[in-house]
């Protein structure tokens, strides 16, 4: 097996395994129906990093065409799956509930909800 085919084989096998790992349920989850009939659909943020490489090793010497240096190779992947929030459909409205580590984002989201509720209340009173 020539040098190029060895590293190609490592990269091809790793790519096949990554393709099998990632499916649609890792991004948008399966809907869950609550007792009140609302559908709750979880969604996640997926981040993936991939690295592969290889090389020949051994003592430096002249080799003939039918010989080759020993080959070593490896590949690695990092997958980070973090819950991002939920889509909630109660039959009247559909809303997004985000899960965030940043308190400022949470505060801005809650302020927007408060303004929306106040606007609805004013419309009902008018």
Taking only the tens place, the pLDDT of each residue in 12-33 is: 777 777 777 665 455 778 888 9
The 3 state secondary structure assigned to 61-109 is CCCCCCCCCCEEEEEEEEEEEEEEEEEEECCCCEEEEECCCCHHHHHHH
> What pLDDT is stored for residue 39 in this prediction?
92
Residue 1: which residues within 8 A CB-CB, separation 6 or more?
Answer: 9
Long-range contacts of 55-61 (CB under 8 A, 24+ apart): 56/3
**Cα-Cα-Cα-Cα dihedral sign, residues 5, 10, 15, 21:** positive
> What pLDDT is stored for residue 63 in this prediction?
62
Distance CA 116, CA 92 (A): 15
For residue 53, the cross-strand partners are 74
Residue 51's pLDDT band (cuts 50, 70, 90): confident
Backbone angles phi, psi at 29, to 5 degrees: -80, 175
Average pLDDT for the chain: 75
Residue 120's pLDDT band (cuts 50, 70, 90): confident
Q: What is the three-class DSSP state of 111?
A: helix
44 and 81 in contact (C-beta within 8 Å)? yes
């Amino acid at each position: 097996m020539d040098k190029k085919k060895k590293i190609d084989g490592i990269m091809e096998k790793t790519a096949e395994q990554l393709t099998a790992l990632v499916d649609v349920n890792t991004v948008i989850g399966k809907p869950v129906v609550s007792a009140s009939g609302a559908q709750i659909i979880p969604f996640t943020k997926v981040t993936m990093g991939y690295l592969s490489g290889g090389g020949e090793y051994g003592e430096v010497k002249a080799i003939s065409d039918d010989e080759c240096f020993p080959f070593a190779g490896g590949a690695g992947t990092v997958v980070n799956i973090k819950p991002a929030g939920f889509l909630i459909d109660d039959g009247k409205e559909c809303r997004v509930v985000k899960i965030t580590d940043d308190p400022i984002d949470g505060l801005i989201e809650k302020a927007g909800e408060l303004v929306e509720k106040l606007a609805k209340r004013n419309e009902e009173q008018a």
